[in-house]
Amino acid sequence: MKNLFGYSRVLAVGDIHGMHEKLITLMDKIRFDPEEDLLVFLGDYIDRGPDSVKCLRYIYNLQHSSPDSVICLLGNHEVMMSSYLMQKRVSYNALIADYADSWLENGGFETLQQLNELGKDEREELVGWATNLPIRFQYQEFFFCHAGVDPDVPLPAQTEFDMLWRRQQWWEQYKGEETIVVGHTPVQKVKKRARYAKPLFLPNNIIMCDTGAYMTGGKLTCVDVLSQKAWQA
């Protein structure tokens, strides 16, 4: 049962990037209970790993079976896919229009091949769902998005660009009271001590969950942001 303060666990899953076997193993480990837990996926379900469509299908089915307990956020790879497939140049700024053309170079070629093997109805359903997900989610003091925030801007005023694409060591300047929970930048690229693919719990209220699932030696990670317990596959 949910406790008096809400969910028993608030679980955040980092970038999956087509790693379906790791996803299934991770879900077996965390034993998600939709009656007790809130599960937040931080985006980038596709590309780079071998099974992008399997990941989309699994997460789609999970959310539709437990819509009140599963939150799926948009990642920048879903934006690139949308821009390429729909010939839609997103309006965040002129730079992002170029990402539609670079999707195939960032793992999108294999994803495109897998999508083309689907029937038209299923392909349109999965793509339509994956490219129209929300960009942010907040639960109590925890603010979830894919990439990061502008540390000089209040959270309600954050731009879609920053929440989907930002790197630039934003985590070094953030001083807010809310805890920011993100994926996008693998921890291996943040600190040398993170080479062991563990999630980062930074002292300035930041939790970084992307532990390089598709990388050699990388892991797929789920963090309970309430207890800071982590599971990996």
Q: What is the pLDDT at residue 194? A: 52
> Tens digits of per-residue pLDDT, 139-162?
999 999 999 999 999 999 999 999
> Tens digits of per-residue pLDDT, 80-123?
998 887 764 444 445 555 666 788 889 999 999 999 999 999 99
> Tens digits of per-residue pLDDT, 174-227?
999 999 999 999 998 887 655 578 999 999 999 999 999 999 999 999 999 999
DSSP code at position 36: T
Spatial separation of the C-alpha atoms in residues 43 and 21, rounded to whole Å: 17
- Domains belonging to the chain, first-starting first, are 9-232 (3.60.21.10)
Residue 28, pLDDT > 80, answer: yes
Spatial separation of the C-alpha atoms in residues 86 and 81, rounded to whole Å: 8
Q: What is the pLDDT at residue 111? A: 96
> Tens digits of per-residue pLDDT, 170-189?
999 999 999 999 999 999 88
Q: What is the pLDDT at residue 151? A: 97
pTM of the model: 0.92
170 SS3 class: helix
